Amino acid sequence: MKFVYECNDCHEIYETKQVFYQCPKCAALNDGTSFAQGNVIVKLDEHYLQKLKRRKNLSVTDFLPYEIPHPDCYPVGNTPIVKPLRLGKQYGLRNLSFKMDSVLPSGSFKDRASQLIIAQALHHKETRIALASTGNAGAAMSCAAAAYGLEVILFVPETAPANKLMQSVLYGATVVPVAGSYDDAFALSIAYTNEAGGINRNTAYNPMTIEGKKGVSIELFLQMGRNVPDIVYVPTGDGCIFAGVYKGFSDLKDAGLIKNIPLLVAAQSRESNAIARAWQTQEFTNLAEATTRADSINVESPANGRMAVRYISESQGWATEVDDSEILEAQLELAREAGLFVEPAAACAFAALKSDRQMVLDRFGEHFEVCVLLTGTGFKDMAVFDGRIQIPEAIENSAEAMRQRFAL
Ligand SMILES: Cc1ncc(COP(=O)(O)O)c(C=O)c1O
C-alpha cells in the first residue's frame, strides 16, 4: 500500500520507501524544555482508503501500511468489549463499555504497536529492534520479537524498577541499563540504531508505533457492526495511544466509513498532567516533575504531546485530570464491581469518566455510548496493593474453626 509521512508541526510531506522517523527540520528545534516537535503521521493513499468503503469484508489489517506476516504467532487484536452490568446501572450510563486491551499477549495495549514494528522490520529485512522503555512498550516489543525470532535491544534508565523489566528479560531481550534518565536511554537507543542499524521503536519517534495503535479504533468499528462509540476515554501519558485512537477513526472517516470522529477524552493523573495542561493553556512546557503512582502514565515531557493536544481539539474532546487516590479507587471498583483487573494507568480512564459522569449525562444523556480503554492488566503492578489489600489469615483445618470463622 502507498503511504507518505506528514510532519505534525510544519505539515511538510515526506515521500520515501525507507524507514522514516521524524521531520528533520522540526526535530532540529527540540531543546528539551518543551514538548518534542517533528513527529510525523503516516498518511495512507486516499484512493486506496476510499476503495475500502465498498468492501464487504474489512479487517484491521486492511488499514495497516505493512502486511502482518504470520499473525497467528503473535495474535494482536479482537480484544473483548465488556458491557458492565453493575457499573452501567450504578452510574446511569446505559451504553457503557470497556475495551479490554489488557488481554493482549504481553498484557498491554503496546502489543498493537509492536506488531506493526515487527512487520516494518521484516519488510525492510531488519532483524534487530532497539528502543528505550521502562515498562509496557519494552515488554510488548520483547514478547513480539520472541514470537518472530528477532532481536531486541532495550535501553532503560538504571533506576527502572526490576519488576517492570522482568518480563522483557524473560522474553529474551538484551536489556541495557543506562546511568541516566529515561531521556538519556531514549537518546542512546537512537544513537545505537544510527550506528548499528536495525529499527528504532521509540514511542512516537517511530511513526509506526502510533499507526499500529490505531487498530483499536478500527477494531471497535468492526466489532460494533460498523459503528463507533460517541465518546472514548483514553489513559494518557506520552499521548501516543491517544493519537493512535484518533488516527484509526480519522482513517475510517477518510474512507467514508464513518461521519464523525468520536469525542476523545485524554485521562491524566493530576500528578502527571502535561498534556491536560497544554490543552488548557496551549503552552507546551515540560513538567518539572511527574509523580503519579500510575507509572505507565508518569511523564514529564510527553513524546507525542503536541499531536495529542491537536487531536483532543480536532475530536472536540477534552482532557480530564484525576487524583491518584481516585485512580486507585477506580482500580478496586473495576475489580470488585465488574471483575476487571487492570493496572493503575488503565484505571485512570475509568476514574476520569467517573469524575466527568454528571457532565456527560447532562450534556449527552444516558444513552450516549461511552467506551473506556483498559490498556494494561493488573498483574503488571502488584506492588500497588501493598498495604491496601490484606490476604486473610489461615484457619485451622477443622469443622470447629470453620464454624467459628462464619459464626455458624
Ligand atoms: C497500560 C498503559 N496505559 C496507558 C499508557 C499511556 O500511553 P501513552 O504514553 O501513549 O499516552 C501506557 C503507556 O505506557 C500504558 O502502558
pLDDT for the residue 198: 97
Instruction: State how beta strands 199-200 and 231-235 pair.
Output: unpaired
Spans in the chain with pLDDT lower than 50: none
pLDDT in tens, 136-159: 999 999 999 999 999 999 999 888
Burial 228-259 (b: 16+ CB within 10 A, else e): bbbbbbbbbbbbbbbbbbbbbbbbbebbebbe
Closest CA to 38 of 214, 203, 205: 205
pLDDT for the residue 303: 95
Atom of ligand 1 nearest to the CA of 102: 1
Would you list the DSSP string of 55-77?
-SS--GGGG-SS--SSGGGS---
310 CB neighbour count, 10 Å cutoff: 16
- State the burial class of residue 372 (Cβ atoms within 10 Å of its Cβ: 0-12, 13-18, 19+): buried
Closest CA to 248 of 225, 219, 276, 217: 217
Report yes or no on whether pTM surpasses 0.85. yes
Find out whether the beta carbon of 251 lies less than 6 Å from any atom of ligand 1: no
pLDDT for the residue 140: 97
Report the alpha-carbon distance of residue 83 to residue 97 in Å, rounded: 5
pLDDT for the residue 162: 83
pLDDT for the residue 163: 78
- Per the CB < 8 A criterion, the answer to whether 224 and 249 are in contact is no
Q: Which triple of cell numbers denotes residue 13? A: 510531506
Find out whether the beta carbon of 240 lies less than 6 Å from any atom of ligand 1: yes
Find out whether the beta carbon of 114 lies less than 6 Å from any atom of ligand 1: no
Find out whether the beta carbon of 237 lies less than 6 Å from any atom of ligand 1: yes
pLDDT for the residue 99: 98
- Per the CB < 8 A criterion, the answer to whether 281 and 274 are in contact is no
Instruction: Give the domains, in start order, of the chain with CATH numbers.
Output: 78-107+209-385 (3.40.50.1100)
pLDDT in tens, 44-72: 999 999 999 999 999 999 999 999 999 99
Residue among 240, 304, 381 to mutate when testing ligand 1 (max atoms within 8 A of CB): 240
